[in-house]
Structure 1
């Protein structure tokens, strides 16, 4: 049986379409290739970006900024000593880039200038920490990436 050029073109098109269909079905069914946006409310957070930049600039006016240390109990976030800890309010958001199932938020309630994030809530690996806090009428934000 001899195949002419018209039959060869049809076979090539069928093979190409079959490959594309296999690729589309594999990408849509397999959970390994399932990726989402960074956050659910991505566009809403984009609108708040300028406010966050203002808070970040205001954080630079502090004599000492926030710091963190790793301990056996978890992560300790240290607030500036020159600010009264009773006036500090806000939230700590921990974002796990590899899996959004582990993201969580903790309200800030201090009895000292330290806030402990318990070890049982943290997995080994990379975390992004965002501390959005307020003291009196001043708003601040602190962001960092850590390897726990």
Structure 2
């Protein structure tokens, strides 16, 4: 059987479209390729943006800002030592860009200037940490990206 050039072009186009559709369906149905790169309540977070900028500038006025370091037990967050730790209140939010099921939030309750996030809560990889806290009704915000 002989195929003319018109039939060959149609076969090539249908083959190419089938190839593309196969990968589109495979990528959209396979959980291995599911990446959540944005948060669920994107528009609400956008409205909070200016307040976050103000909180971050408040943080920069402190003598020492919040810091963190990786230890054998987990992540140790240290609040400024010049502040009274009993008046510090807020939340620590850890955001995993590759999997929203791993995101979690911890309330800040301190017995000294340190807060430990246990190692069992964290998987290896990239995390975004956001510490939204207040001291004597003054809001502060610390954000950083870390690799655990």
Q: Same fold (TM over 0.5)?
A: yes
Q: Is the 8 A contact 2:36 2:97 kept in 1?
A: no
Provide the TM-score with structure 1 as the length reference.
Answer: 0.89
Distance apart, 1:56 and its partner CA: 0.6
Q: Within 5 A, what are the aligned runs for 1:1-148?
A: 1-148=1-148
- More deviation in 50-59 or 28-37? 28-37
Cα separation, partners in 2 of 1:12 and 1:49, compared to 1, 3 Å: same
Residues 7-30 of structure 1: CA distance to partner in whole angstroms, max 9, x if unpaired?
223222322332233223222222
What count of residue pairs does the alignment treat as equivalent?
Answer: 148
Q: Is the 8 A contact 2:36 2:100 kept in 1?
A: no
Cα separation, partners in 2 of 1:8 and 1:41, compared to 1, 3 Å: same
Structure 1: stretches of 5+ with no match in the other structure? none
Distance apart, 1:71 and its partner CA: 2.5
Residues 13-67 of structure 1: CA distance to partner in whole angstroms, max 9, x if unpaired?
3223322332232222222222334211122111111111111111111011111
Cα separation, partners in 2 of 1:145 and 1:20, compared to 1, 3 Å: closer
Q: Distance in 2 between matches of 1:123 and 1:28?
A: 25
Q: Is the 8 A contact 2:37 2:98 kept in 1?
A: no
Structure 2: stretches of 5+ with no match in the other structure? none
Provide the TM-score with structure 2 as the length reference.
Answer: 0.89
Cα separation, partners in 2 of 1:23 and 1:123, compared to 1, 3 Å: closer
